[in-house]
Structure 1
Amino acid sequence: MLTRAACMARAGGGCLLALSCVFAASDALAVGTRTFDLDSLEEFSGGDLKGVAVSSDGGVRAGFSVGNVPLTDASSSFSALALADGSVLVGTGPSGKVFKVVGDRAALFADTGALAVTSMIEVRGVIYAASMPDGKIFKLSQGKAEPWVTLPNTSHVWALASDGKGAIFAATGPEGRVYRIEPSGSHSVYFRSDEPHLVSLAIGEGGELYAGSSGKGLLYKIAGPGRATVLYDFPGEEVKGIVAVKRGVVYAIANDYGEPPEPPKRAPAGARFPAQPSTAKPIRPGKGALWRFDAAGRPEKMMSHGEFHYMSLAADTEGRPYVGTGAEGRVYTVDDAHTVTLVADTDDRQIGALTFGRSIYLAGSDAATVHRVVAQGGSEAVWTSRVLDAGLRAKFGHLSWHATGALEFSTRTGNTGAPDATWSAWSAGSSAPVTVTSPSARFIQVRARWSRDPKAVLSEVMLPFVTDNVRPVVLEVDARPKNAGKESKEAIPSSGSEPPKHDSVLKVTWKVDNPDNDSLRYRVNFRREGQGLWRDALRDGEVLTKSEYEWETTALPEGKYRLRIEASDEPANPPDLVQKHAMESGPVLVDNTPPIVRDLSLTGRRLRVRVVDGLGPISRVELAVDGKPDFRTLGAADGVFDTADETVDTDVSALVSPGAHIVTVRAYDAAGNFVVRDLESR
């Protein structure tokens, strides 16, 4: 079976299948029937998850069914506060408005005039809102936002927390301070860090204060004014959110961006607000991790994602953590066994805030939208797979699945990567495995409904398919001596380079376009130039499956030949469906015979040599003296070595000193065959 990594690599090359598939096939190549086999969080995610949850243990079960309430004049959601009546307040940007959402309706609650409302709390019936970038905290009431406190040396008030006795704590930047604010509005520095920004706060069961920084990604535990320890130094730069739950347990989300993100800034005066608050540097996608700290402060990483960072953190009444992502608008949770579950997948870019009260709300961004969880499971729960890509038009077989409880399945198909009007309609639902009736096509989606059993759990979906058999096409054939460099295609080796080396074995290679990735068999034939009969180059019974062959030419007469490569997909298909294609090479020189020296004389210090080859051309003539291996190249009489009959007529006095010497001449043809002759000088 192909590994998922191999499948992803092939999908990335546009070769065959999308990420969502795992094939039941041969180890490396497609043979006949293949199968989409979906059985993991990755494979079940990515489609449309309406009211279902997908877990890392491979199970799909009924999950959050959410509504959609758009917030006008806002692009980003920064904070949320659940009220006792079941409604929620949502703080937004880039115009610092607060909306109240009741059921599926939203109305403007207050307008702070700030860039964004970053945090809200309710203390003794009074609602307080933090803002940026003016360092202000507001008191909110229906239709009003009354400035209450402006903190010194502060532009960003990132988070608020209350000790339950009337005091409010505020995490700020750019000087990384926590302020304590009394009900009267008087304030003092409660903790001063070395970090530029403190961006998250939470109060523990024992009254201790937890603060998270942006800069070095530090989690502080503050026991009292100025008394703090670092509970943990995270690998990343930002502790985005903290929540304290039962039995002294604390959860924190940390992000690793590679460098600290720069906080939003107000647009220049008179300029229109951008789609979301501007930053000196846009926040690039980071890596998010959720950590748990027990009552003794011991850390444990509960889950992480390397593809995106985390934006929001909340806990339900049982103390179970929920995390909103900074990409793809998803919400995840994780249990003590480290089973990660995707409980909501929205169309938003990110989930900026989560809140659990009488109702559960998810606040998304671009544009700002509030999603109220209207149900968990029920008839509205529908799982739709991502688009599965067979690579070519395919006939789909018997759809089956593993599940506890009754589910209803249907399919649809099309030939575009994104479903559109050209796709087929959804097939009739079936609660038992059934042969797919959707038309043959390249792409398919599978849908499951929980209407029959809200408690059903889906663990695997299997869909066999067979693609149309497409002919493999040989695109290019190349043949050269086995010892020749891959980059060398010169017919005549350079006379100034290393002497050519003869090899009777020719390395034959070819390229093939194999759209359906069938396993292939190759046949290699040859014929002499000018003759029509093709002969088999392979040994008797040899089956060639690699796109290369070493052709031994020792027993062949010298001359020019052509090779023919045939590619056949017969290993993967029945005889009546086999497809073949062949391609001929250009002329290939077979030359295993050295040239002949016809004339060799040395008159005085003038050397004359005539060299003749059966095929040619002569590529190099060189000279050595007295047996020393220092051969020096000589030039052709006509200036160019380019024919099978070449003459050298040159003065060698610069190479041969006066007196008696043994003069050795060596001549090469283009195939690397060479001849050696010598004479004595006087």
Structure 2
Amino acid sequence: ITGIVGNSSGKVFLCTSNPGKVFSLGPEYEAEGTYESRSFDAQLFSQWGRIEWWSPPAATSPKPGSGSSAAHGNDPRVEFFVRSGNTDDPGKEWSRWFGPYTKSSAATEAPSARFVQWKAVIHDGRPGDGIDWVSLAYLPRNVAPVIDGIAIQEPGVRAQSQPAVSSNQPTPVTLKMPTAPTATGATITQSSSSSRFEQPPQGVMQKGYQTVLWTAHDDNEDELQYAVYFRGENEKEWKLLKDKLDQRFYSFDTTALADGAYYLKIVATDAPSNPPAAALTTERESERFEVDNTPPVVEDLRAGPASGKMSGGHPASFTARDATSAIDHAQYSVDGGEWILVSPSNGISDAPVEHYDFGISAASPGEHTLAVRVYDRFENVGTAKITFNVPASKP
């Protein structure tokens, strides 16, 4: 624009270059004006409902020179049109314009799609004309929830909702969270996040308990409920452990299960936010985990006579055996004294059966008690003891 000038009647002239043109504006209103909204992304394939709007009352009579006539006094002054498609930019792939809709709360006819656009046409322009707001109802197609990941915790960890601070609370444990899913291909970014907030659970040590945590989301932002199932490694049928869970974690007492390997299955449903016929579910299986509540067995515990090879000490030996898991560590004590760690004969505890050979310091003459305790990796402990005599030295 290279120049702007107005005349005494209120008309404004605009001069442009490249190309050179002159445009005139006002003061009268155009007989018709059109406004097109930006395309709206519903994020999901959606069904379009009723369109509503509100406009302030216009002047009772048109401004002179507006081109209106009494013959059109009963014609609608505002008309709405709606179209839809599955691309962000409206183009030839979109539907045609449906309408006109002349009364607020009219049902639209645009076909289901992910994107929608509306157009308003105002006839017989008058002072004060305008549209304050427009609302178009829509119902996204329901999609099944997604379980993003499952994390089986270490044995003996129990999760619970964040407790009030207390001096006698068990020692807290850091819980393992499920691994975030790897993004592949195209993703859809939601325009707003869910307003629901779930406080993370607190983990504490409690023998015999097993805990599972999971993460899940729903593209419709529906409220979700969960169920937990289990099955043994060589079993085919899933058994219900707990249903109607709102939180995304569950701890259970494994002492009700036989020792062995198990799998868990998490089932998520959006039933709380949908009619029964429209509700959808999804499920995901956990990695393998083991249950072991049986302590290891100590076999063949012996203490021999003092030996010169051991500087007057006593050789001792035993075998530790566990039916389910590997031996973790072993200790011995003489006459109720301090527990002393002892290593297996091969130097590393990594098998269900370990043999131990060790020496006891020289003891005074008389009866003595040798006690051993053995732990597996589930903190089950097996114990045994024997008595042995140290003869008095000859005069």
Distance 1:469 1:662, change over 3 A: same
Q: Deviations over 1:488-547 (max 9, x none)?
A: 99xxxxxxxxxx966222112233353333322222222222233332212xxx522333
The aligned counterpart of 2:175 is 486
Q: Deviations over 1:316-375 (max 9, x none)?
A: xxxxxxxxxxxxxxxxxxxxxxxxxxxxxxxxxxxxxxxxxxxxxxxxxxxxxxx99767
Distance 1:606 1:374, change over 3 A: farther
The aligned counterpart of 1:642 is 350
SS at match of 2:330: strand
Q: Would you say the 8 A contact 1:502–1:673 is kept in 2?
A: no
Q: TM-score, normalised by structure 1?
A: 0.40
Indicate whether 1:423 and 2:94 are aligned: yes
Q: Would you say the 8 A contact 2:152–2:289 is kept in 1?
A: yes
Task: Output the CA distance in 2 between the equivalents of 1:472 and 1:591.
Answer: 34
Q: Would you say the 8 A contact 1:501–1:673 is kept in 2?
A: no
The aligned counterpart of 2:209 is 505
SS at match of 2:237: coil
Task: Output the CA distance in 2 between the equivalents of 1:657 and 1:471.
Answer: 71
SS at match of 1:462: strand
Task: Output the CA distance in 2 between the equivalents of 1:372 and 1:521.
Answer: 64
Indicate whether 1:548 and 2:256 are aligned: no
Q: Would you say the 8 A contact 2:226–2:245 is kept in 1?
A: yes
The aligned counterpart of 1:447 is 119
Distance 1:375 1:531, change over 3 A: farther
Query: RMSD value over aligned CA atoms?
Result: 4.0
Task: Output the CA distance in 2 between the equivalents of 1:550 and 1:453.
Answer: 68
Q: Would you say the 8 A contact 2:32–2:124 is kept in 1?
A: no
Query: Is the strand fraction higher in 1 or 2?
Result: 1
Q: Deviations over 1:447-471 (max 9, x none)?
A: 3333355423433322221122222
Indicate whether 1:608 and 2:280 are aligned: no
Distance 1:378 1:102, change over 3 A: closer
User: One-letter code of the match for 1:671?
Assistant: F
Query: How far is the alpha carbon of 1:427 from its aligned partner?
Result: 2.4
Distance 1:444 1:376, change over 3 A: farther
Q: Would you say the 8 A contact 1:597–1:611 is kept in 2?
A: yes
The aligned counterpart of 2:231 is 527
Q: Would you say the 8 A contact 2:224–2:270 is kept in 1?
A: yes
The aligned counterpart of 2:135 is 462
User: One-letter code of the match for 1:672?
Assistant: E
The aligned counterpart of 1:493 is none
Q: Would you say the 8 A contact 1:502–1:671 is kept in 2?
A: no
Distance 1:635 1:403, change over 3 A: farther
Query: How far is the alpha carbon of 1:627 from its aligned partner?
Result: 6.1
Distance 1:104 1:528, change over 3 A: same
Distance 1:428 1:593, change over 3 A: same
Task: Output the CA distance in 2 between the equivalents of 1:463 and 1:543.
Answer: 35
Distance 1:103 1:614, change over 3 A: same
Query: How far is the alpha carbon of 1:403 from its aligned partner?
Result: 2.5
Distance 1:641 1:501, change over 3 A: farther
Distance 1:107 1:402, change over 3 A: closer
Indicate whether 1:618 and 2:327 are aligned: yes
Task: Output the CA distance in 1 between the equivalents of 2:124 and 2:370.
Answer: 99
User: One-letter code of the match for 2:54?
Assistant: H
Task: Output the CA distance in 2 between the equivalents of 1:643 and 1:375.
Answer: 95
Query: How far is the alpha carbon of 1:390 from its aligned partner?
Result: 1.6
Indicate whether 1:516 and 2:224 are aligned: no
Distance 1:378 1:589, change over 3 A: farther
Distance 1:488 1:390, change over 3 A: closer
SS at match of 1:648: strand
SS at match of 1:577: coil
The aligned counterpart of 2:289 is 588
SS at match of 1:399: strand
Query: How far is the alpha carbon of 1:559 from its aligned partner?
Result: 1.9
Task: Output the CA distance in 2 between the equivalents of 1:611 and 1:544.
Answer: 41
User: One-letter code of the match for 1:390?
Assistant: A
Task: Output the CA distance in 2 between the equivalents of 1:453 and 1:543.
Answer: 59
Q: Deviations over 1:299-321 (max 9, x none)?
A: xxxxxxxxxxxxxxxxxxxxxxx
Task: Output the CA distance in 2 between the equivalents of 1:602 and 1:383.
Answer: 98
How do residues 191-590 of structure 1 correspond to structure 2 at under 5 angstroms? 378=30, 381-405=33-57, 407-433=78-104, 434-452=106-124, 454=126, 455-480=128-153, 481=155, 482-483=157-158, 485-487=174-176, 503-512=207-216, 514-538=218-242, 543-590=244-291
Distance 1:391 1:626, change over 3 A: farther
Q: Would you say the 8 A contact 2:293–2:378 is kept in 1?
A: yes
User: One-letter code of the match for 2:86?
Assistant: N
Task: Output the CA distance in 2 between the equivalents of 1:521 and 1:651.
Answer: 59
The aligned counterpart of 2:190 is none
Q: Would you say the 8 A contact 1:618–1:670 is kept in 2?
A: yes
Task: Output the CA distance in 2 between the equivalents of 1:647 and 1:102.
Answer: 104
Q: Deviations over 1:582-612 (max 9, x none)?
A: 2333333122222222233444354423222
Distance 1:458 1:648, change over 3 A: farther
The aligned counterpart of 2:17 is 106
Indicate whether 1:667 and 2:355 are aligned: no
User: One-letter code of the match for 1:403?
Assistant: S
SS at match of 2:325: coil
Query: How far is the alpha carbon of 1:378 from its aligned partner?
Result: 4.7
Q: Would you say the 8 A contact 1:529–1:561 is kept in 2?
A: yes
**Structure 1 unaligned residues grouped into runs of 5+:** 1-68, 72-81, 88-100, 109-370, 490-499
Q: Size of the alignment, in residue pairs?
A: 312
User: One-letter code of the match for 1:444?
Assistant: V
Task: Output the CA distance in 2 between the equivalents of 1:640 and 1:375.
Answer: 96
SS at match of 1:458: coil
User: One-letter code of the match for 2:321?
Assistant: V
Query: How far is the alpha carbon of 1:377 from its aligned partner?
Result: 7.0
User: One-letter code of the match for 1:392?
Assistant: L
Task: Output the CA distance in 2 between the equivalents of 1:563 and 1:461.
Answer: 49
Identity rate, percent: 28
Task: Output the CA distance in 2 between the equivalents of 1:678 and 1:487.
Answer: 39
**Structure 2 unaligned residues grouped into runs of 5+:** 58-76, 159-172, 179-203, 305-312, 391-395
Task: Output the CA distance in 2 between the equivalents of 1:386 and 1:592.
Answer: 64
